[in-house]
Amino acid sequence: MIFRSQSRPLCTAIAFIPVLFVAIAALQQRIDARTGSFAPEQEELLLRSGKAAKNLSLGYDSLLADVYWTRAVQYYGGRVGIPGATFDLLWPFLDVTTTLDPHLMPAYRFGAIFLSEPGEAGAGRPDLAIELVKRGIAANPSEWRLQTDLGFLYYWRMKDYKNAAAAYAQASKNPEAPLWAKLMAARIAQKGGSIETSRIIWSELYESTKDPRIKKTAAQQLVSLKAQDDEAHLDELAEEYQNRFGHFPASIHDLIAAGLLSVTPADPAGFAYILGPDGKSRLNPKSTVVIDQLANTPAQ
C-alpha cells in the first residue's frame, strides 16, 4: 500500500507528459501556419505565460525552453528582411524561454539583437532588448558578456552614454572580463558617441561573434562608419575651402585644385563621393554602401 501511494504522483506525472508534448506540437503547428502570413489580426501564442509553461513542464523546463528558443529563432528567421513583416511574437517567445531556463545564454544575447534591430531587420524594440538583458544579468551575475551587451544597447540603440559607460564599467569588475571593457567605459564617458568609439565596439563584436548574421551586421556597420568618417573629413575640407574663397566647392575637383586633396576619395564600395551645393559630402547614388541613419554619431 505504501508503494502504491508513493507511486501515484509519479504515474500521474508520466501520464501527463503526452499532454505536454501535444501542447508543444500544437504551438509549433500554429506558428508554422502563421510564419508566412502577416494578417492584421492579433497573433496568439498557445502559452504566452512563462509561469504557466513552467507549471506544465513537469520538471522538463530546459527541454521546453529549448523548444521555445528554437521556435523563436525560426520565427525571426522566417520574417527578417521581408517588407511589412512584424515580430509581435518575438518578445513572448523570449519571455517564456528565459522564464523556463534563466541560464540559456543565447536567448539573452541573440534575442536582444533580434529585438533591437530596426526596420525589416528586427522588432525595433531596444527597450525590450534592455529588459531581456537585465533579466539575464539578474539570473547570471557572473556573465560579464551580458553587461557588455547591455552597454552596447545603451550606446548604439539608445544613445544613452551615461548608462552605457556604467554597464561597461560594471562588466570590467568581473575578474574574467577583458581589459577592453574598462577601456570602453572610460572612452564612452569621455567621448560619448564618437565614430571611433563606435568602430571599436563593432570591431570587437565582429571579432568575437560566431553567428554569421551578427558578423554580417557588424561588417556592414563598420563600412557605414568608414563612410561617415570620410564624409565628416570632406565636410571639414569644404568648410576650409569656403573660408578661403567665400563659397563652397562645386565638386571634389575644386578641393584637389585648391591643394586640399591629392586624389578623389572613394567610399568602401569604390564609388567617388560627391559634394552638394551646401558643401556637404554625399554617397554616389550608385554606391552600395548604406549609412545607418539611426546610428549616426558625431565625428571626434
Q: What DSSP assignment string belongs to 155-207?
A: IIIS--HHHHHHHHHHHHTSTTS-HHHHHHHHHHHHH-S-HHHHHHHHHHHHH
Give the E-state strand segments of 202-287 in sequence order: 274-275, 281-282
- Give the integer Cα–Cα distance in Å for 22 and 96: 18
The grid cell for 214 is 551578427
The 10 Å Cβ neighbour count of residue 254 is 18
User: Does the structure show a pLDDT above 70 at 184?
Assistant: yes
Band (pLDDT 50/70/90 cuts) for residue 300 is: very low
- Residue 245 within any structural domain of the chain: yes
The grid cell for 123 is 522588432
The 10 Å Cβ neighbour count of residue 289 is 18
58: left (phi over 0), alpha (psi -120 to 50) or beta: left
| Residue 218 confidence (pLDDT) | 82
- Residue 280 within any structural domain of the chain: yes
DSSP helix/strand/coil, 133: helix
Rg of the chain, C-alpha, whole Å: 25
Report pLDDT digits (tens) over 17-73.
Answer: 444 545 555 555 554 554 444 433 334 444 555 566 666 656 678 888 898 899 999
- Residue 21 within any structural domain of the chain: no
- Give the integer Cα–Cα distance in Å for 94 and 75: 11
Mean pLDDT of 162-182: 92
Band (pLDDT 50/70/90 cuts) for residue 106 is: very high
| Residue 214 confidence (pLDDT) | 75
- Residue 286 within any structural domain of the chain: yes
Range of the domain at 274: 231-295
- Residue 56 within any structural domain of the chain: no
- Give the integer Cα–Cα distance in Å for 224 and 154: 19
- Residue 242 within any structural domain of the chain: yes
Residues sharing a CB contact under 8 Å with residue 166, sequence separation 6 or more, in sequence order: 151, 185
| Residue 51 confidence (pLDDT) | 65
Report pLDDT digits (tens) over 233-285.
Answer: 999 999 999 999 999 999 999 999 999 999 999 999 999 999 998 989 999 99
| Residue 35 confidence (pLDDT) | 46
- Give the integer Cα–Cα distance in Å for 294 and 281: 18
Report pLDDT digits (tens) over 113-129.
Answer: 999 999 888 999 999 99
- Residue 282 within any structural domain of the chain: yes
Query: For the chain, what is the domain count?
Result: 1
Mean pLDDT of 87-98: 93
- Give the integer Cα–Cα distance in Å for 47 and 56: 10
- Residue 53 within any structural domain of the chain: no
Mean pLDDT in the chain? 81
Mean pLDDT of 208-219: 80
- Give the integer Cα–Cα distance in Å for 226 and 37: 38
The grid cell for 115 is 529585438
The 10 Å Cβ neighbour count of residue 163 is 16
